Structure 1
Protein backbone atom coordinates (compact mmCIF):
# COMPACT_ATOMS: atom_id res chain seq x y z
CA UNK A 1 0.00 0.00 0.00
CA UNK A 2 1.43 3.38 -0.94
CA UNK A 3 2.56 5.51 1.98
CA UNK A 4 2.74 2.52 4.29
CA UNK A 5 6.48 3.03 4.89
CA UNK A 6 5.88 6.55 6.16
CA UNK A 7 3.20 5.22 8.50
CA UNK A 8 5.57 2.71 10.05
CA UNK A 9 8.57 5.08 10.10
CA UNK A 10 6.51 7.53 12.13
CA UNK A 11 5.16 4.85 14.46
CA UNK A 12 7.12 6.05 17.55
CA UNK A 13 5.83 9.56 16.87
CA UNK A 14 2.26 8.25 16.63
CA UNK A 15 2.62 6.77 20.11
CA UNK A 16 4.18 9.97 21.48
CA UNK A 17 1.35 12.02 19.95
CA UNK A 18 -1.24 9.61 21.39
CA UNK A 19 0.26 9.98 24.88
CA UNK A 20 0.33 13.77 24.44
CA UNK A 21 -3.32 13.91 23.41
CA UNK A 22 -4.25 11.60 26.27
CA UNK A 23 -2.49 13.95 28.68
CA UNK A 24 -4.48 16.86 27.24
CA UNK A 25 -7.68 14.82 27.73
CA UNK A 26 -8.31 14.81 23.97
CA UNK A 27 -9.51 11.25 24.30
CA UNK A 28 -11.12 10.82 20.90
CA UNK A 29 -7.95 11.79 19.04
CA UNK A 30 -5.78 9.84 21.49
CA UNK A 31 -7.86 6.71 20.92
CA UNK A 32 -7.52 7.09 17.15
CA UNK A 33 -3.76 7.46 17.48
CA UNK A 34 -3.44 4.47 19.82
CA UNK A 35 -5.46 2.42 17.36
CA UNK A 36 -3.19 3.50 14.48
CA UNK A 37 -0.13 2.61 16.52
CA UNK A 38 -1.52 -0.80 17.51
CA UNK A 39 -2.54 -1.58 13.93
CA UNK A 40 0.90 -0.66 12.61
CA UNK A 41 2.57 -2.78 15.28
CA UNK A 42 0.42 -5.79 14.53
CA UNK A 43 0.94 -5.37 10.80
CA UNK A 44 4.71 -4.86 10.77
CA UNK A 45 5.63 -6.54 14.10
CA UNK A 46 8.37 -3.94 14.65
CA UNK A 47 7.28 -2.46 17.97
CA UNK A 48 8.69 -2.95 21.42
CA UNK A 49 6.42 -5.08 23.58
CA UNK A 50 6.34 -2.40 26.28
CA UNK A 51 5.18 0.24 23.80
CA UNK A 52 2.45 -1.99 22.39
CA UNK A 53 1.28 -2.97 25.89
CA UNK A 54 1.23 0.70 26.93
CA UNK A 55 -0.84 1.61 23.86
CA UNK A 56 -3.38 -1.12 24.60
CA UNK A 57 -3.53 -0.10 28.26
CA UNK A 58 -3.99 3.59 27.46
CA UNK A 59 -6.67 2.89 24.87
CA UNK A 60 -8.32 0.70 27.50
CA UNK A 61 -8.29 3.60 29.94
CA UNK A 62 -10.09 5.79 27.41
CA UNK A 63 -12.69 3.09 26.90
CA UNK A 64 -13.02 2.69 30.67
CA UNK A 65 -13.68 6.42 31.05
CA UNK A 66 -16.43 6.06 28.44
CA UNK A 67 -17.87 3.20 30.54
CA UNK A 68 -17.22 0.77 27.69
CA UNK A 69 -16.08 -1.94 30.05
CA UNK A 70 -16.11 -4.82 27.56
CA UNK A 71 -13.74 -3.12 25.12
CA UNK A 72 -11.61 -1.74 27.95
CA UNK A 73 -11.17 -5.24 29.39
CA UNK A 74 -10.28 -6.55 25.93
CA UNK A 75 -7.54 -3.91 25.65
CA UNK A 76 -6.24 -4.63 29.15
CA UNK A 77 -6.17 -8.35 28.36
CA UNK A 78 -4.28 -7.67 25.12
CA UNK A 79 -1.77 -5.53 27.04
CA UNK A 80 -1.26 -8.38 29.51
CA UNK A 81 -0.76 -10.83 26.66
CA UNK A 82 1.91 -8.61 25.12
CA UNK A 83 3.72 -7.89 28.40
CA UNK A 84 2.66 -10.12 31.32
CA UNK A 85 5.04 -8.25 33.67
CA UNK A 86 3.19 -4.93 33.16
CA UNK A 87 1.11 -4.65 36.32
CA UNK A 88 -1.06 -1.66 35.36
CA UNK A 89 -3.41 -3.49 32.96
CA UNK A 90 -3.95 -6.21 35.59
CA UNK A 91 -4.92 -3.49 38.05
CA UNK A 92 -7.19 -1.73 35.56
CA UNK A 93 -8.91 -4.96 34.56
CA UNK A 94 -9.31 -5.82 38.24
CA UNK A 95 -11.11 -2.52 38.81
CA UNK A 96 -13.63 -3.37 36.11
CA UNK A 97 -14.14 -6.87 37.46
CA UNK A 98 -14.70 -5.35 40.90
CA UNK A 99 -17.19 -2.77 39.60
CA UNK A 100 -19.12 -5.52 37.85
CA UNK A 101 -19.19 -7.63 41.01
CA UNK A 102 -16.87 -10.33 39.65
CA UNK A 103 -14.95 -10.50 42.89
CA UNK A 104 -13.06 -13.73 42.19
CA UNK A 105 -11.69 -12.34 38.91
CA UNK A 106 -10.89 -9.00 40.57
CA UNK A 107 -9.09 -10.80 43.37
CA UNK A 108 -6.95 -12.75 40.88
CA UNK A 109 -6.02 -9.58 38.98
CA UNK A 110 -5.11 -7.64 42.13
CA UNK A 111 -3.09 -10.59 43.45
CA UNK A 112 -1.19 -10.75 40.16
CA UNK A 113 -0.40 -7.03 40.42
CA UNK A 114 1.07 -7.63 43.87
CA UNK A 115 3.14 -10.59 42.64
CA UNK A 116 4.67 -8.30 40.02
CA UNK A 117 4.92 -5.22 42.25
CA UNK A 118 4.44 -5.86 45.99
CA UNK A 119 4.59 -2.11 46.69
CA UNK A 120 1.56 -1.20 44.53
CA UNK A 121 -0.50 0.44 47.30
CA UNK A 122 -3.70 0.96 45.29
CA UNK A 123 -3.73 -2.76 44.45
CA UNK A 124 -3.36 -3.63 48.14
CA UNK A 125 -6.33 -1.43 49.01
CA UNK A 126 -8.40 -2.75 46.11
CA UNK A 127 -7.64 -6.36 47.01
CA UNK A 128 -8.66 -5.77 50.63
CA UNK A 129 -11.91 -4.10 49.54
CA UNK A 130 -12.62 -6.93 47.10
CA UNK A 131 -12.12 -9.55 49.81
CA UNK A 132 -14.36 -7.64 52.23
CA UNK A 133 -17.12 -7.21 49.66
CA UNK A 134 -16.85 -10.84 48.56
CA UNK A 135 -17.19 -11.95 52.19
CA UNK A 136 -20.11 -9.59 52.71
CA UNK A 137 -21.85 -11.03 49.66
CA UNK A 138 -21.30 -14.59 50.95
CA UNK A 139 -22.57 -13.64 54.41
CA UNK A 140 -25.75 -12.19 52.92
CA UNK A 141 -26.21 -15.30 50.78
CA UNK A 142 -26.16 -13.84 47.25
Structure 2
Protein backbone atom coordinates (compact mmCIF):
# COMPACT_ATOMS: atom_id res chain seq x y z
CA UNK A 1 0.00 0.00 0.00
CA UNK A 2 1.23 3.49 -0.72
CA UNK A 3 1.77 5.79 2.23
CA UNK A 4 0.79 8.98 0.42
CA UNK A 5 -2.81 10.13 0.06
CA UNK A 6 -4.67 8.98 -3.01
CA UNK A 7 -5.52 11.63 -5.58
CA UNK A 8 -9.14 11.81 -6.70
CA UNK A 9 -9.79 9.92 -9.90
CA UNK A 10 -9.75 11.92 -13.07
CA UNK A 11 -11.87 10.80 -15.97
CA UNK A 12 -8.75 9.37 -17.65
CA UNK A 13 -7.82 7.32 -14.57
CA UNK A 14 -11.36 6.05 -14.23
CA UNK A 15 -11.41 5.06 -17.90
CA UNK A 16 -8.04 3.34 -17.51
CA UNK A 17 -9.26 1.39 -14.48
CA UNK A 18 -12.23 0.15 -16.49
CA UNK A 19 -9.93 -0.80 -19.38
CA UNK A 20 -7.73 -2.80 -17.03
CA UNK A 21 -10.70 -4.50 -15.36
CA UNK A 22 -12.08 -5.45 -18.79
CA UNK A 23 -8.66 -6.79 -19.82
CA UNK A 24 -8.46 -8.92 -16.66
CA UNK A 25 -12.00 -10.19 -17.27
CA UNK A 26 -11.20 -11.23 -20.85
CA UNK A 27 -7.93 -12.81 -19.68
CA UNK A 28 -9.76 -14.85 -17.03
CA UNK A 29 -12.29 -15.98 -19.66
CA UNK A 30 -9.30 -17.04 -21.79
CA UNK A 31 -10.31 -14.57 -24.55
CA UNK A 32 -6.64 -13.86 -25.07
CA UNK A 33 -6.84 -11.87 -28.31
CA UNK A 34 -9.32 -9.43 -26.77
CA UNK A 35 -7.40 -9.32 -23.48
CA UNK A 36 -4.15 -8.58 -25.30
CA UNK A 37 -5.78 -5.74 -27.21
CA UNK A 38 -7.18 -4.25 -23.98
CA UNK A 39 -3.86 -4.60 -22.12
CA UNK A 40 -2.11 -2.88 -25.04
CA UNK A 41 -4.62 -0.01 -24.92
CA UNK A 42 -4.20 0.31 -21.15
CA UNK A 43 -0.39 0.30 -21.43
CA UNK A 44 -0.45 2.86 -24.23
CA UNK A 45 -2.82 5.10 -22.29
CA UNK A 46 -0.64 4.86 -19.18
CA UNK A 47 2.50 5.70 -21.08
CA UNK A 48 0.81 8.71 -22.70
CA UNK A 49 -0.76 10.10 -19.53
CA UNK A 50 2.11 9.05 -17.21
CA UNK A 51 -0.59 8.83 -14.57
CA UNK A 52 -0.99 5.15 -13.69
CA UNK A 53 -0.07 3.17 -10.62
CA UNK A 54 3.16 1.27 -11.23
CA UNK A 55 1.65 -1.96 -9.87
CA UNK A 56 -1.27 -1.79 -12.31
CA UNK A 57 0.97 -1.04 -15.28
CA UNK A 58 3.35 -3.85 -14.27
CA UNK A 59 0.42 -6.26 -13.97
CA UNK A 60 -0.79 -5.30 -17.45
CA UNK A 61 2.69 -5.91 -18.90
CA UNK A 62 2.98 -9.22 -17.03
CA UNK A 63 -0.42 -10.47 -18.16
CA UNK A 64 0.18 -9.43 -21.75
CA UNK A 65 3.46 -11.31 -21.50
CA UNK A 66 1.52 -14.38 -20.34
CA UNK A 67 -0.64 -14.22 -23.46
CA UNK A 68 2.48 -14.05 -25.63
CA UNK A 69 3.99 -16.94 -23.65
CA UNK A 70 0.88 -19.06 -24.34
CA UNK A 71 1.40 -18.31 -28.07
CA UNK A 72 5.06 -19.37 -27.69
CA UNK A 73 6.23 -15.86 -28.62
CA UNK A 74 8.97 -16.18 -26.02
CA UNK A 75 11.07 -13.16 -26.93
CA UNK A 76 8.06 -10.84 -27.07
CA UNK A 77 6.85 -12.27 -23.74
CA UNK A 78 10.28 -11.63 -22.20
CA UNK A 79 10.10 -8.02 -23.38
CA UNK A 80 6.80 -7.57 -21.56
CA UNK A 81 8.10 -9.27 -18.41
CA UNK A 82 11.17 -7.02 -18.51
CA UNK A 83 8.91 -3.97 -18.90
CA UNK A 84 6.88 -5.16 -15.90
CA UNK A 85 10.09 -5.50 -13.87
CA UNK A 86 11.29 -2.04 -14.94
CA UNK A 87 7.89 -0.60 -13.96
CA UNK A 88 7.71 -2.30 -10.55
CA UNK A 89 10.93 -3.98 -9.43
CA UNK A 90 9.20 -5.27 -6.25
CA UNK A 91 6.80 -7.51 -8.24
CA UNK A 92 8.13 -11.10 -8.09
CA UNK A 93 5.86 -12.70 -10.69
CA UNK A 94 7.44 -11.23 -13.86
CA UNK A 95 10.88 -12.30 -12.58
CA UNK A 96 9.54 -15.83 -12.23
CA UNK A 97 7.80 -15.74 -15.63
CA UNK A 98 10.88 -14.42 -17.41
CA UNK A 99 12.94 -17.05 -15.61
CA UNK A 100 10.70 -19.80 -16.99
CA UNK A 101 11.32 -18.67 -20.55
CA UNK A 102 15.05 -18.30 -19.98
CA UNK A 103 15.08 -21.80 -18.51
CA UNK A 104 13.18 -23.23 -21.49
CA UNK A 105 15.64 -21.53 -23.85
CA UNK A 106 18.58 -23.03 -21.94
CA UNK A 107 19.80 -19.72 -20.47
CA UNK A 108 20.26 -21.31 -17.05
CA UNK A 109 22.37 -18.56 -15.49
CA UNK A 110 19.80 -15.89 -16.42
CA UNK A 111 16.93 -18.13 -15.29
CA UNK A 112 18.69 -18.76 -11.97
CA UNK A 113 19.11 -15.03 -11.46
CA UNK A 114 15.41 -14.36 -12.15
CA UNK A 115 14.22 -17.14 -9.83
CA UNK A 116 16.56 -15.91 -7.09
CA UNK A 117 15.23 -12.36 -7.45
CA UNK A 118 11.63 -13.63 -7.28
CA UNK A 119 12.53 -15.46 -4.06
CA UNK A 120 14.29 -12.42 -2.64
CA UNK A 121 11.03 -10.50 -3.10
CA UNK A 122 8.81 -13.37 -1.88
CA UNK A 123 10.60 -16.07 0.10
CA UNK A 124 7.43 -18.23 0.10
CA UNK A 125 7.09 -18.35 -3.71
CA UNK A 126 6.97 -22.16 -4.00
CA UNK A 127 6.97 -22.34 -7.83
CA UNK A 128 10.07 -20.16 -7.90
CA UNK A 129 11.78 -22.44 -5.35
CA UNK A 130 11.03 -25.54 -7.41
CA UNK A 131 12.07 -23.86 -10.65
CA UNK A 132 15.33 -22.67 -9.13
CA UNK A 133 16.11 -26.20 -7.90
CA UNK A 134 15.38 -27.67 -11.34
CA UNK A 135 17.48 -24.99 -13.03
CA UNK A 136 20.44 -25.75 -10.77
CA UNK A 137 20.11 -29.49 -11.45
CA UNK A 138 19.87 -29.02 -15.21
CA UNK A 139 22.72 -26.50 -15.23
CA UNK A 140 24.93 -28.99 -13.37
CA UNK A 141 23.92 -31.82 -15.71
CA UNK A 142 24.83 -29.64 -18.70
CA UNK A 143 28.25 -28.93 -17.12
CA UNK A 144 28.77 -32.63 -16.40
CA UNK A 145 28.12 -33.43 -20.06
CA UNK A 146 30.70 -30.83 -21.04
CA UNK A 147 28.53 -28.34 -22.96
What TM-score range do you get, normalising by the shorter chain? over 0.9
- Equivalent residue for 2:110, pick from 105, 108, 117: 105
- Equivalent residue for 1:132, pick from 119, 134, 137: 137
Gaps of 5+ in 1: none
RMSD: 1.2
SS in 1 for 2:63: helix
- For residues 43-88 of structure 1, give each alpha carbon's deviation from its aligned partner in whole angstroms, at most 9, with x where no partner exists: 0011000000000000000000000001100000000000000000
Q: Does 1:89 align with 2:123?
A: no
Partner of 1:72 in structure 2?
Answer: 77
- For residues 89-142 of structure 1, give each alpha carbon's deviation from its aligned partner in whole angstroms, at most 9, with x where no partner exists: 000000000000000000000000110001001000000000000000000001
Q: Give the TM-score normalised by the residue count of structure 2.
A: 0.91
Distance, in Å, in 2 between the alignment partners of 1:26 and 1:125 is: 29
SS in 2 for 1:25: coil
Per-residue deviation at 1:7?
A: 6.1
Gaps of 5+ in 2: 1-9
Distance, in Å, in 1 between the alignment partners of 2:16 and 2:113 is: 34
Partner of 1:20 in structure 2?
Answer: 25
Contact 1:77 1:89 in 2 (8 A): yes
- Equivalent residue for 2:123, pick from 114, 118, 124: 118
Aligned length, in residue pairs = 138
Q: Which runs of 4+ in 1 moved over 2 A?
A: 5-9
Distance, in Å, in 1 between the alignment partners of 2:132 and 2:14 is: 42
